[in-house]
Every structure is written in structure tokens, then in C-alpha cells.
Amino acid sequence: MIKVLIVDDSAIIRKTLTEQLSKYQDIKIIGTAIDPYFAREKIVEEKPDVIILDLEMPRMDGLSFLSKLMKYYPIPVIVFSSLTNGMNETAIKALELGAVDVLGKNASYSANEETTRKLVRMIRNAANVRFDKKIEFREPEKINVEKNITFSTTHKVIAIGASTGGTIAIEKVITKLPPSIPGIVIVQHMPEGFTASFAKRLNDISKIEVKEAKDGDLIVSGLALIAPGNHHMIVERSGGNYVVRIKDGPPEHFQRPAVDPLFRSVAKNVGKNAVGVLLTGMGADGAKGLLEMKNAGAMTIVQDEKSSIVFGMPKEAIKLGAACEIVSLDKIGNRLIEIFQKEVVS
């Protein structure tokens, strides 16, 4: 049984969620709380496996509570709030603070079956997340100076894949990279609408340019392209250049975008001129694709267990023998710089 605590100031929402989620045999609502102060008592008493958290509450807002919770008593949290409708900056901030997932809530939510099913999937996924470390969020410094980047086509490509915990992990990698770094393509498991906000935030705090990818975008040095939510992204060769193609297609590993389609395309079309990086995430997406990249001659890097919020995807890649190197998150950015510095020298 997955023990769930609901934290929401609306009595109607608490009652409806309890009734709807209790219909599932593997979910047990162990309590509800009107605000973070009552929630704190329930957490100590009941030790829930997963928390469903609203953001608009009296006495303490949900983001402040989430930050304190992840710092002192980390538990898998699903943010369910009207403030995260449209997958906006608030949703991105919740993920960066350590939320496992985010779902927008209509103010009039009343036993909406589709929303309930999404919550159930999120609860089941969140129950598998184990926080072996406390998460202390520090607001990254915004790059206020004008970026001095001379874009040029590149024969090298860096491909990055991530899922749960990936917003934090990608930020830590990308913000270390200089404008001279080869072109980067990124898949982060995110719904439609998330990725534009995520890309904008990364662009604000990075030395390189970061944008949500569009079909036909050139892969150039100093630019990171993030796959748009609800679409796969692959890399193709166009003359002497590499471009991204945005595709529909069926989900893989229940995800769209998925990491495997990107990695497979990079293995096929870039081969030994690529570097693959697989970061924290639940499940096995990216593991087989990373192995294809390694077999095609690419350098492959996998985040280590200690620094991963969820070690699922990296672990599966290691089991397959897909990792050339297993590296702590804090060192991956510098490792990428080292790889390409050596190539420039040689």
C-alpha cells in the first residue's frame, strides 16, 4: 500500500481526492491537512510515502513548505495546484525545489476521471523515489551580461537525457559550460508547455544559449536545444550540418519526448563524434539508446548513484554496459569541458 497525505486548504478538494484515490487498492490516504503546520504533525505521526501538495494555503505557502521539507525531511511530493496550470514558472520552481511531479488543478476539480488517473500514475511513480540526500535549493545567479557567442556549425554533438530530478541535474551541468562548447540536444521528460519555461530559465542563468527546439533547428556550438513537451526529438544530418527534427510518434517508456529516440538517432547519424550523458530518472529510458551510442564509438557518461535523486535510468544503462564513465553530477559539466579541450589541443 502507498501511504498518501493530502495537503490542501480546500475541504472539498481534500474530500474529493480522498474518495477518488481510495478507490485504488494500492493507495491508502493516511490523512489530510489544511496547511503545512498540520501537515508537519501528520508527517511525523504517519510517515507517508507520498504527499499531494497544494501551493495556495494559509500561514505558509506550498513552495516555502516544499523547500523546508526537502531540506529537513525529504519525501516524494506531487504538487497539485491551480498555480501550476499551463506548466508555468511556478511549476518549474516546484520541480527545482524537489517535487517529483507537478499537475495543474482546476479550481472546480470534482472527481475528474482523467485528472485522477494522472494523479494515480504520479503517485505510483513517486512511491518508487527514494531520497538518500536532503535537497537544499539555492537560487542560481542570473547571467546579466550580454552573451558573446559566435554560433558555428559543429561536427560534434552532446546528447543529454534525464527524467525525475532532471531539472536540477541539467541545470548543474549546463550552467558550467562555456560558449565554445559543441551543440547540445536535451530530452527531459516534461509535458507540453513545460519545456519553453524550462529553457528560458536555463538561458537566463547560463553562459550558453538555451531554447526550446523547433523542427529544422541547426545544432551549433554554444547552443542547447531542449525537446518540446509531447514531441520526440531526433538528430539528422543535412549536408555538412546536424539538425533536429521534431516528431510525434508513439510514446516510448510511456514518455514523449523520450530519451531513447534521441540517443538512437545520435548513434546512427553522429556516431563517434558524439558524447552521450544520461542523468537521474525513473525507469529505463535512455539505457538502450546510450548503449547504441557507445557501440557507435561515442563517449558515454552516466550519473553516479550517490548524486542521483532517482538512480533508475543510470542504473539500467550501467547494467547494459552502456557507460564509458560513471561520474558525480557536480563533475559532469567539467568533464565535458575536459573532453573537448583535449580534442582542441590534439
Residues with a catalytic annotation lie at 163, 189, 285
Q: How far apart are CA 26 and CA 2, in angstroms?
A: 6
Distance of CA 223 to the CA centre of its chain: 19
Burial-class residue 264 by CB neighbours within 10 Å (0-12, 13-18, 19+). Answer: buried
176 touches 150 (CB < 8 A): no
Q: Evaluate whether 249 touches 232 at the Cβ level (below 8 Å).
A: yes
Beta strands 232-238 and 241-247: pairing type? antiparallel
Q: Give Cα 140 to chain centroid, integer Å.
A: 17
Check if the beta carbon of residue 227 is closer than 8 Å to that of residue 258: no
Whole-angstrom distance, CA of residue 100 vs CA of residue 266? 28
Quick one: which H or E segment has residue 100? Answer: none
Per the DSSP assignment, residues forming a β-bridge with 340 are: none
**Rounded Cα–Cα distance for residues 107 and 346 (Å):** 60
User: Coil, helix or strand for 307?
Assistant: coil
CB 156 within 8 A of CB 223: no
